[in-house]
Structure 1
Amino acid sequence: MKKLLFLLFLSTFKLCATNWYTDLETAQKVAIASNKLILVDFWANWCGPCKKMDRDVWSKEEVKTVLDNYVPLKIDFDTRRQLVDQYGVHGIPFVVIMDANGKVLYNKLGYTDKIQTLHFLEKYRLNTSFMQLETAYFNRQPSYSTALRLAQKYLDFSLYVEDPEVRKNVLSLAKEYLSETEDLLDSEQANYTMMEQKIELLEANVDLYDGNYRKLGRFLEKKIDEEDLRKYNWGVYCFLNYCMYKEEGDQRNIQKWENEMNKLKNPELYWTRYSKLIASRE
């Protein structure tokens, strides 16, 4: 994988000297290699507000400095209709912040001045090194397994994001990759039931991190075959139950699931996640 990332870097190194890319695939490779998100500016030659943003926003040194934290990409509204339709662009200027696989974290329609632009650029300037390998694997070979690993990485990454709005959007990305996992699953494969169960548990995990305890509670009230869970997905199930009862203050069940957590092969992983979850709420 290190060789893959090195080759991606070499293939795009010369292009990094330019201010804006014009090809999405190239921008994606640079984003993976540099651990940056992609900032896309949908524009057109006839668009007055687009020209105003070029003159009064994108060309300003303060904006350029923050923009160094992104891979900047310009998409022509008139000639790149497939991308325009794919991202639902119905007006311009339209700014999108996306990950290296093209999943959207943030978008904004219409002209924004320098102060407004700096605000969202500062807010979303995330270093994506935490999920670099998983992003590269998925980009190179989309499959249910690479999508699932990336979904889990985004879940964990959300615990380190301080801004509530950005955290919520990172969790939305985790959910998108879980949906992608489900789409890439083959019902004929031997581990289909286990993987389907895993997806449901991680979707419930998204609800937990998003603070949606009511929805998590409804999920945990469902009749679930614990024998199957113990074989494959017991750790996540224990974690969800522990967090749920901790929120409710149910001491008897807290103790029960704490004991189950401590019996796991890797309890420290779940206790670290719980500590980060509590810290993210403070």
Structure 2
Amino acid sequence: MKKSLILLLIVFLSSSTIKADNWLSSFEDAKKMALATNKLVLVDFWASWCGPCKRMDSESWNQEDVRSLMSNYIPVKIDLDNNKSLAAKYGVRGIPYIFIMDGNGKVIHQQMGYKRKSEVVDLLNKYALNTSFLTRDLINYHTKENFANTYRLANKYQDYAMFLEPHLRTEFLEVSDTYFKEAEQGLKKSKLKSKQAFKQKIELHDIQKNLLLDRSKKALKQLEKIADEGVVETNKKFYNLLKYIAQKDNDNSEEATALGKELSANDLKKAEIFFK
């Protein structure tokens, strides 16, 4: 329902903001359309006086094979002169400046300067991802930025990153981190009675991130610190899973075997993802 409503809103809002070359000119409309279509946003900061920008238009963006790849994104051109506050928000220091973002405007990738056609093709091929796995939580966050919605989206991003190739995983884990940091701030303002449990759970997610990035020794040290402080009852299952993965990855077979006996079949299946 929410998705349908957003799509209808997009049709209404963007009807007058789509340029003749299929680039949107409204950043807000582009984000909403990305949420409704399970795509990422392709952002190009430019200006009418920018020589390299004009070169990219003729030599890269307007080429047929590039335009075909752009169909995997919601593309939006942002005029630097008319959007200085937005440019400042994203740290645009020069143009052309290209971003790949999610539908909430969180940066996944950024590049500054002129890009040859081959570089643009490589970029668009790399991030041509379907975000349907994230859609519900992306929309919930867009609708209401509270602790629960932010935490769930951060968690979902981390799960999504598990199935990405290593060259993409790091960037999506960084986006997950961005949402987790927001969730921590939201937790402080919330009226939840279980704040300590969620605070620890966010720490466990940081350990999971390190395991996904093959930093198992660091993960073990983090797990030891949590054990010393005391594992909250509701977090024990997650803690044991992460400790099993870390011990196995460090070839501590005896400890891993003992922990493995306490895990469910689903948890053992999830653990295998870390060893592929």
Distance in 1 separating the partners of 2:35 and 2:103: 6
Give the corresponding residue for 1:73. Answer: 76
Cα shift readout 1:239-271 (whole Å, capped 9, x = no counterpart): 110001101221221122112213xxxx41x22
Aligned residue number for residue 186 of structure 1? 188
Change (3 A) 1:277 1:251: closer
- The answer as to whether partners of 2:249 and 2:275 remain within 8 angstroms in 1 is no
Q: Which residue of 1 aligns with 2:213?
A: 210
CA shift digits 1:144-175 (9 cap, x unpaired):
1111111111111112112x221110111111
Question: Are 1:123 and 2:126 an aligned pair?
Answer: yes
- Whether the aligned pair in 1 keeps the contact of 2:211 and 2:274 (CA below 8 Å) is no
Return the letter of the residue paired with 1:57. Answer: S
Please name the residue that 2:268 is paired with. 271
Question: Counterparts of 2:28 and 2:58 in 1: how far apart (Å)?
Answer: 27
Alpha carbons 2:141, 2:149 under 8 Å: kept? yes
Structure 1 residue matching 2:227: 3-state secondary structure: coil
The question of 1:13 aligning with 2:16 is answered: no
Residue of 27, 32, 43 corresponding to 1:29: 32
CA deviations 1:105-136 (Å, max 9, x no partner) are: 11110000111100011001110000100000
C-alpha contact (below 8 Å) 1:35/1:127 kept by paired residues? yes
Matches within 5 A, 1:1-282: 3-13=1-11, 15=14, 18=19, 19-162=22-165, 164-186=166-188, 189-224=192-227, 228-229=231-232, 231-262=233-264, 267-268=265-266, 270-279=267-276
Tell me how far 1:225 sits from its aligned partner.
Answer: 6.2
Return 5+ residue gaps in structure 1 as ranges: none
Superposition TM-score, scaled by structure 1 size: 0.91
| Structure 1 ranges of 4+ moved more than 3 A | 13-18, 225-228
Q: Structure 2 CA distance, aligned partners of 1:181 and 1:272?
A: 28
The one-letter code sitting in structure 2 at the alignment partner of 1:254 is A
Distance 1:81 1:245, change over 3 A: same
Q: Measure the CA separation in 1 of the matches of 2:5 and 2:151.
A: 25
Check the 8 A contact 2:260/2:268 in 1, yes or no. no
SS state of the match for residue 128, structure 2? Answer: coil
Equivalent pairs, count = 270
* Structure 2 gap ranges (5+): none
188-197 vs 127-136, which moves further: 188-197
What one-letter code is carried by the residue in structure 2 that aligns with 1:110? Answer: G
Give the Cα–Cα distance (whole angstroms) in 1 for the partners of residues 195 and 59 of structure 2.
53
Measure the CA separation in 2 of the matches of 1:223 and 1:183. 21
What's the TM-score, normalizing by structure 2? 0.93
Q: Cα RMSD (Å) of the superposition?
A: 1.7
Cα pair distance change 1:203/1:221, threshold 3 Å: same
Residues in 2 aligned to 1:21 and 1:273: alpha-carbon distance in whole angstroms: 40
Aligned partners of 1:40, 1:156: CA distance in 2, in Å?
25
